[in-house]
């Protein structure tokens, strides 16, 4: 439906490409963790959780065995809540409704693959690692993202990247997933005022 798409949007991953990318990431996870008995997939709400589900499903199919999986909500670990009036914090950032954190396996000693849709400043991942450590002491934490758009503000590096996409600060990456948006695609949006 190219005619209904707003002119400031450009598709960077189609449904077919996204599916191939997720498959590749899954194989890379297995390649990097050949003997990981305690490998687990944990998605970060909202879209990271759906992507985590997909990767987990594929991992079990390809790996020929079951792996534990879970979901993480990082609302209580955000750094823009406690930092009152901090420079650079977007004022009146809407605080989304908190979703369930569900980690139905023992974190201690697990190798946890965190999954998120877009890697940007790295602050979400910082929060997710903090949250994870309040549940236990993983043997290792790896990071899988569908899109790495750059502009890191923290020393955080992904282990598995779907697509590297250098962006401007005035551009936005929208990941849309069947589960919540009715379509699988990644689009680059150019905004007027940034954000």
- Interface ranges with other proteins (CB under 8 A): 73, 75-84, 90-102, 118, 120-121, 123-124, 127, 130-131, 134-136
In whole angstroms, the minimum distance from the beta carbon of 62 to other proteins comes to 30
Smallest distance, other proteins to C-beta of residue 99, A: 7
Minimum CB separation of residue 45 from other proteins in Å reads 10
> Please, which residue, 40 or 131, has the CB nearer to other proteins?
131
- Terminal-residue alpha carbon distance, the chain: 26
Q: Is the CB of 73 or the CB of 148 nearer to other proteins?
A: 73
CA distance 195 to 120: 12
In the complex with other proteins, the residue whose CB is nearer, 37 or 100, is 100
Give me the least distance between CB of 72 and other proteins, in Å please: 11
The least distance separating other proteins from the CB of residue 175, rounded to whole angstroms, comes to 9
Shortest CB 98 distance to other proteins, Å: 4
53/79 with CB nearer other proteins: 79
Secondary structure (3-state) at 42: strand
Query: How far is 41 from 54, CA to CA, in rounded Å?
Result: 10
Tokens of residue 56, six digits: 């987990």
Considering the complex, state which of residue 26 and residue 110 has its C-beta at the smaller distance from other proteins.
Answer: 110
Q: Which is nearer to other proteins, 32 or 123 (CB)?
A: 123
C-alpha of 114 from chain center = 7
CA 156 to chain centre: 13
Distance CA 106, CA 103 (A): 8
Helices 15-32 and 47-63: crossing angle in degrees, nearest 10, is 60
CB 161 within 8 A of CB 152: no
If one counts every other C-beta atom within 10 angstroms of the C-beta of residue 142, the result is 20
């Amino acid at each position: 439906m190219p005619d209904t798409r707003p002119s400031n949007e450009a598709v960077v991953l189609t449904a077919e490409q996204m599916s191939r990318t997720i498959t590749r990431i899954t194989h890379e996870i297995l390649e990097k963790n050949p003997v990981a008995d305690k490998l687990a997939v944990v998605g970060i709400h909202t879209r990271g959780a759906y992507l985590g589900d997909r990767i987990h499903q594929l991992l079990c199919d390809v790996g020929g065995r079951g792996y534990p999986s879970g979901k993480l909500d990082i609302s209580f670990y955000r750094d823009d809540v406690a930092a009152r009036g901090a420079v650079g914090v977007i004022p009146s950032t809407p605080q989304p409704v908190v979703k369930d954190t569900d980690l139905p396996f023992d974190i201690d000693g697990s190798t946890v693959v965190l999954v998120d849709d877009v890697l940007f400043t790295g602050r979400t991942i910082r929060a997710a690692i903090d949250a994870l450590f309040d549940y236990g002491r993983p043997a290792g934490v790896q990071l899988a993202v569908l899109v790495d758009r750059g502009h890191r503000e923290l020393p955080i590096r992904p282990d598995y990247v779907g697509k590297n996409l250098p962006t401007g600060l005035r551009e936005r990456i929208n990941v849309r997933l069947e589960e919540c948006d009715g379509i699988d695609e990644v689009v680059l949006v150019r905004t007027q005022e940034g954000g």
